[in-house]
Homo-oligomer: A and B are copies of this chain.
Amino acid sequence: MPKAKYDIIYKDLKNKIESEEYSFQEFLPSENTLVTEYSCSRNTIRRAMADLIKEGYVQAIQGKGVVNIFQPVEQSTFKIGGIESFKESAIRNHQVYSTKVVHFQYVIADKKTEKRTGFLEGTELIYIQRIHYFDGKPLIVNHNYFLKELMPELSVEVAEKSIYEYLENTLNMTIVTSKRIMTVEKMNKIDSTYLDLKDYNCLAVVSSQTYNSDGIMFEYTQSRHHPDYFRFIDIATRK
């Protein structure tokens, strides 16, 4: 699938860094060296570097070189700066995964829904409430709102497997951007019914709006995570 040259180079360098072919704080070969190594232009190398920098693998220092700042992190539940379905996340972490659909219904957005989700009042939506299990433990309560217009055939059966698989493979939809807000909220009835929160009285909440390649927001989701199994990784850069 990824046949862009810069992407091949990016993945190759990423592998070398992850397999510790370059040690922590070691400098990578200079851009000019990589140009001859990969037989490409300097722009292409820089494009690959930009991605590595963005994901926190390396840091460029003008006049000196590009230094490796990758340190392996103990199992991260979610991927750095990516969009990943729960199923994908489970597979990557070698966990057994299952989903139970609690609610599946057609709704029309009212004013309150508009304020919460960003879908305009009157929009036809599909509301799905699911519980996600990892290794048999119920860890996430998930509230999805999908734009019905774009996926009129979406069914309970699909929701039990993977909605993203359906959207990407069956509907050929391309998922591009997701805006996410992380907060901590007091637990509610539903949370305490399905999750084994022990003596926690709150949980990690991720609310997200997702856009497809037409620039249409087709999904609003609120995921409510058990605190013990939640971590969210981010790389920030100054200026």
Contacts and interface: CB of A to CB of B under 8 A. Distances in A.
Interface of A: 2, 25, 53-54, 56, 59, 61, 67, 69, 71, 73, 76, 81-83, 118, 174-186, 199-204, 211, 213-217, 225, 227, 230-239
Contacts of A180: 233-236
A209 to B, nearest CB: 8
A170 to B, nearest CB: 17
Contact of A61 (B54, B71, B184, B214): B214
Given A56-B177, A180-B233, 14 more contacts: A59-B215, A61-B215, A81-B237, A83-B236, A174-B238, A176-B237, A177-B235, A177-B236, A179-B234, A181-B234, A182-B182, A184-B200, A184-B230, A204-B204
Nearest to A43: B43
Contacts of A54: 54
A236 B182 CA distance: 13
Contacts of A177: 53, 56, 59, 69, 235-238
A112 to B, nearest CB: 15
Copies in the complex: 2
Contacts of A76: 181
A213 to B, nearest CB: 6
Nearest to A216: B25
Contact of A118 (B71, B204, B231): B71
A206 to B, nearest CB: 9
B233 A179 contact: yes
A216 to B, nearest CB: 8
Nearest to A202: B202
Nearest to A7: B239
